[in-house]
Amino acid sequence: MFIKSGEIFMENKGKSELIRSAAFPLLFTALIWLIEFGAHLSGVRLINLGILPRTTEGLVGIITAPFIHGDLDHILSNTAPLLIVGTGMIYFYKELAYRVMAAIWLMTGFWVWMFARPEWHIGASGLIYGFVCFLFFSGIFRRDTRLTAISLLVTFLYGSLVWGIFPINQIVSWESHLFGSVAGLFTAYYYRSDGPVKPKAQWEIDEENELLNPTSANETEVEFVNEEPVVPEIKINYTLVEKPSEPTENKGG
């Protein structure tokens, strides 16, 4: 009964952590949909909040571009990946995930502003590419079987995204995809020693215990010689004493 209760506790704990990990991606995607819904109702296009490379007015897009989408199909294509990959990053990398997300966000936006075509670049797909690449390469750099399994799962789910980094379709911002992928690779390498710790093997734990609790060599020498117990030597001295003669009886007269 105790074991069963412990299993239920761990299962509930895992579910609660998953729910907490999904909170930020849910909030982010909800804000994207709210902005898109407001733009649709007002009839105002917010494309000027995107990135226009090498212009002053386009600088603001480094921060705001991921919130802006061109149409319903555009935002639909980004919603599910943002939720899944964003939740995965926070669940497996905890507090490190927010630093990684911020770094990918800023690097992708800045590189697009510096090197992309002189057109408006909008959408959150650059972030998606960055998150996917981070999850993939982080598991490889860390040589952690658990995180490598996540890398393989990401490859299975989003392996086809690799074609998006090439200038095949000029309608999409392939530059955002490319620079987002590079940002994900860079952050995975930079933070390779931070975050989740690889579980130690049993032999490593045994070695550490031996170093922390060494056996005294002196005690070993005292207790054992040639692997045989030492028996203390006891010396008994004997002294021979001559037995005295019987006493003489005196009789009175």
pLDDT tens-digit series, residues 68-108: 998 889 999 999 999 999 999 999 998 899 999 999 999 99
Assess whether pLDDT exceeds 80 at residue 233.
no
Q: Give the chain's mean pLDDT.
A: 82
Instruction: Assign 59 a pLDDT band (cuts: 50, 70, 90).
Output: very high
pLDDT of residue 251: 46
Under the banding of pLDDT at 50, 70 and 90, the label for residue 9 is very low
Q: How much is the pLDDT for 1?
A: 47
Q: What is the pLDDT of residue 210?
A: 66
pTM: 0.74
Which pLDDT tens digit goes with each residue over 111-152? 999 999 999 999 999 999 999 999 999 989 988 888 888 888
Residue 2 has pLDDT above 70, yes or no: no
Of 141, 126, 139, nearest to 66 (Cα)?
A: 126
What are the phi and psi torsion angles at 225 (to 5°)?
A: -130, 120
Three-state DSSP state, 174: helix
> Could you tell me the sign of the dihedral formed by the alpha carbons of 102, 103, 106, 109, in that order?
negative
Q: What is the mean pLDDT of residues 19-31?
A: 96
Amino acid at 215: T
Provide the 10 A C-beta neighbour count for residue 3: 7
Centre a 10 Å sphere on the Cβ of residue 106 and count the other Cβ atoms it contains. Answer: 13
* CA dist list (Å): 142 to 20, 22, 230: 25, 24, 52
Three-class secondary structure of residue 83 per DSSP: helix
User: Where is pLDDT greater, at 232 or 157?
Assistant: 157
Please state, as a whole number, how many other Cβ atoms lie within 10 Å of the Cβ of residue 145: 10
